[in-house]
Amino acid sequence: MTRTKPETGIQSKTQRPSQISKFAADDGESLDFFGRSVAVSSDGTTALIGAYHDDDPNGEDAGSAYVFKL
């Protein structure tokens, strides 16, 4: 994408953000819907990511929540 800076009229290329982390469930399957629900703590140090169709010892599609330290 090319963007023009209004104050100068100079065009510059916008860089795409680079991926710095990837979150994945260690037991994930394709239809678990991992990441459909996400919450981040107010201090930005912890993420809670849901997989509402995860199969676990509580049953098929019982769902799971994964906690990640950021």
Sign for the pseudo-dihedral over CA of 23, 25, 31, 32: negative
The overall pTM is greater than 0.75:
no
> 68: closest CA among 42, 43, 40?
40
The reported pLDDT for the residue numbered 12 is: 60
In this predicted model, what pLDDT tens digit does every residue of 24-68 receive, in sequence order?
Answer: 999 999 899 999 999 999 999 999 999 999 998 889 999 999 999
pLDDT at 21: 85
With cut-offs at 50, 70 and 90, classify the pLDDT of residue 3.
low
pLDDT, residue 57, reads 87
Note the pLDDT of residue 5: 54
Q: Which residues have a Cβ under 8 Å from the Cβ of 60 and sit 6 or more positions away?
A: none
